[in-house]
Homo-oligomer: A and B are copies of this chain.
């Protein structure tokens, strides 16, 4: 990749500042736990996998500017840092998972001196990053087999390198297809209300030299009608046991368009995104976002005051409308996952 979403230098975590993209490419160095906390909260780094990796390095950074007289003192300090990091985006499941995994290293090595545990922690954080990179690569390699040469692919939101430590999930499929010499054109939905498609997906594909065209969300339909879309690939926030997919609002709209026009609709995710405890999409509560994201885009009001606004964070696409779910393990076409 031409850019690094995150990079650990040994002393600090260097993040590409995603709040400044796409017009300004600026890196932010986090050298304290508080820096990491602020960066995650302010969406300098976003995307579940990337947040997990950032939090793991945050736990390493927490060991840097203190002296620990015992391993139990180290554990106590890291438990405090971990609680603090977890509180910055409470619903980000990878964040809590990474913190707990790092704490597990301390708990499993309490017989060792603090210096040794700190080395193990750095190794663990690098392992989390490497696993994330490998996961992205596998999704790309597996998914790429579904993509035909000379394809135009529509994507929604950003499930790209900027959301992971590696080459992304949905966009991994595109990057690997491109690497293998396939001629790929991408249409990127702008993705209202927060424009992740316009701001992030367009930026990273442009960086990588992949042809990308920006459209408003309501323009995709006319492209489908004109036969200009050959496949859809999106990521997902959560997949239920029956294969229903919760993803950024507007994903279901794209699925309806794909179905109507006979275009394959693919979802690319790490296996860990599948929540076996939830039977179907009906079990997922739909979170409402801050209405001013709709009524005041970029801080400028576009609607009258006191207007009612409906702004769900995501929608649920039924499994029956999904051609295949691509994971880092296999391609899943219908049926109950893993059973």
- Chain B positions within 8 Å of A316 at CB level: 222, 225
- Chain B positions within 8 Å of A203 at CB level: 303-304
A174 to chain B, nearest CB (A): 16
Give the dominant DSSP class at A's interface. Answer: mixed
Q: Say whether A5 faces chain B, with CB atoms less than 8 Å apart.
A: no
Q: Say whether A279 faces chain B, with CB atoms less than 8 Å apart.
A: no
Q: Say whether A221 faces chain B, with CB atoms less than 8 Å apart.
A: yes
Q: Is the CB of A259 within 8 A of B260?
A: yes
Per the 8 Å Cβ criterion, residues 22-74 of A in contact with B are 22-23
A232 to chain B, nearest CB (A): 14
Q: Say whether A8 faces chain B, with CB atoms less than 8 Å apart.
A: no
Q: Say whether A88 faces chain B, with CB atoms less than 8 Å apart.
A: no
Closest chain B residue, CB of each to CB of A255: B221
Q: Is the CB of B215 within 8 A of A310?
A: yes
Given contacts A218-B253, A260-B256, A213 and B298 within 8 Å (CB-CB)? no
Q: Is the CB of B249 within 8 A of A218?
A: yes
Given contacts A250-B218, A252-B222, A315-B221, A213 and B300 within 8 Å (CB-CB)? no
- Chain B positions within 8 Å of A309 at CB level: 213-215
Q: Is the CB of A216 within 8 A of B216?
A: no
Q: Say whether A151 faces chain B, with CB atoms less than 8 Å apart.
A: no
Contacting residue for A298 out of B198, B286, B300, CB 8 A:
B300
Identical chains in the assembly: 2
Q: Say whether A301 faces chain B, with CB atoms less than 8 Å apart.
A: yes
Q: Is the CB of A199 within 8 A of B303?
A: yes
- Chain B positions within 8 Å of A215 at CB level: 294, 309-311
Residues of A within 8 A of B (CB-CB), count:
57
Q: Is the CB of B257 within 8 A of A212?
A: no
Q: Say whether A191 faces chain B, with CB atoms less than 8 Å apart.
A: yes
- Chain B positions within 8 Å of A259 at CB level: 260
Closest chain B residue, CB of each to CB of A300: B298
Q: Is the CB of A303 within 8 A of B214?
A: yes
**Cα–Cα distance between A247 and B71 once the two chains are bound (Å):** 69
Q: Say whether A16 faces chain B, with CB atoms less than 8 Å apart.
A: no
Q: Is the CB of B219 within 8 A of A250?
A: yes
Chain A interface (Cβ within 8 Å of chain B)? 21-23, 187, 189-193, 195, 198-199, 202-203, 206, 211-223, 225, 249-250, 252-253, 256-257, 259-260, 286, 294-295, 297-298, 300-312, 315-316
Which A-B residue pairs are the 3 nearest by beta carbons?
A: A218-B250, A221-B253, A22-B304
Extra contacts, 8 of them, besides A218-B218, A218-B249, A218-B253 (Cβ < 8 A), are A187-B310, A202-B303, A216-B250, A219-B315, A222-B252, A222-B312, A222-B315, A225-B252
